Amino acid sequence: MMHVTEEKQHRDFATEVLSALLATDPTGKVTQVRALHCTGAVRAALLPCPGVPGRPARPELVAPKKLPRRRALSTQAGRFALLHALAHIEFNAINLALDALCRFVDLPLAYYQDWLQVAQEEAEHFVLLRGLLQAMGGDYGDLPAHDGLWEMAMDTATDPLERMALVPRVLEARGLDVTPAIRERLQEVGDSAAAAVLERIETDERGHVAIGSHWFRYLCEQRGLDAEQTFRQLLQERYRGRIQGPLALEARRAGGFSEQELLWLQECVAQNQRPVMGSAAEEKSAHV
């Protein structure tokens, strides 16, 4: 039986995670996430996770097709639009990591430690990108955005195996593919500060994808499933869109993709087959 003090620590951690998830002010959310300390695995039926996370009134959320057309990165307006889109992705990634902490219960302690690390790193990414926006005379919320990334959270809300397969191993992995080219283009137009931020993000995201891969394989093993076959099946059944290249093979290997998975994904790229891309990843790749 769990000791009363230990049970209270677990409940306190879950309460603090939920409070951070529900926080609407970006600065306040970041402060709460930075202060989180994992005291133990989240136990069953502690706290309900919300269907909608805490987020500010702005940016206005619109359908992807209603977003303004991207502008050239050689202009400040174009760079601001890109960095705003990336900041929105990172803000949503904070909520996704917090959701993974409080929604999925009775997993090993290391799971909660890993996803707390992800949440805290995503918070730092958001702070860095927001700082770039503020240095340009604007702020997060100045442009409209869409809700595709959180829609994926709801699509995978009932099963941590699906969440691990389809968020870190698809959406974040797509970021590994497109971020180097964005970073190089920012360097070309002389924005070395933004390029340095993207280099930091790229490094951390490899670890996030690797965490997703680890827990996806753990859950497959627990259920007696073949991980490669299950990943392929989930993509074929759950995703619209097409696999886009080029794939960042070394980064994906570092993120835990097997050679067989990479071979299959490359075949899909060559044949321009569906499925993989989600709207949030498409938003990022659209700026390349």
Q: How many CB atoms lie within 10 A of CB 126?
A: 25
In this predicted structure, what is the pLDDT of residue 209?
A: 98
Mean pLDDT of the region 259-266: 95
Which of 252, 261, 277, 267 has its CA nearest to residue 229?
Answer: 261
Which of left, alpha, beta for 137 (phi over 0: left; psi -120 to 50: alpha)? left
In this predicted structure, what is the pLDDT of residue 272?
A: 72
The CA–CA distances, whole Å, from 270 to 6, 123, 257, 260, 265 equal 53, 36, 18, 15, 9
- How far is Cα of residue 193 from the mean position of the Cα atoms in its chain? 22
Which of 154, 173, 157, 251 has its CA nearest to residue 212?
Answer: 173
Q: How many CB atoms lie within 10 A of CB 187?
A: 15
The CA–CA distances, whole Å, from 93 to 122, 153, 232 equal 6, 10, 24
pLDDT band at 263 (very low <50, low <70, confident <90, very high): very high
Of 34-43, 100-109, 187-196, 248-257, least confident by mean pLDDT is 34-43
Instruction: Give yes or no for residue 32 having a pLDDT over 70.
Output: yes
pLDDT band at 4 (very low <50, low <70, confident <90, very high): very low
Instruction: Give yes or no for residue 83 having a pLDDT over 90.
Output: yes
By CB neighbour count within 10 A (0-12 exposed, 13-18 middle, 19+ buried), where does 3 fall?
exposed
CB-CB contact of 273 with 243 (8 Å): yes
- Interatomic CA distance for residues 52 and 98, integer angstroms: 12
The total number of residues shown for the chain amounts to 288
Of 40-49, 243-252, 266-275, least confident by mean pLDDT is 40-49
Instruction: Give yes or no for residue 163 having a pLDDT over 70.
Output: yes
Give the three-state DSSP class for 145: strand
48 DSSP assignment: P
pLDDT band at 274 (very low <50, low <70, confident <90, very high): low
Q: How many CB atoms lie within 10 A of CB 182?
A: 22
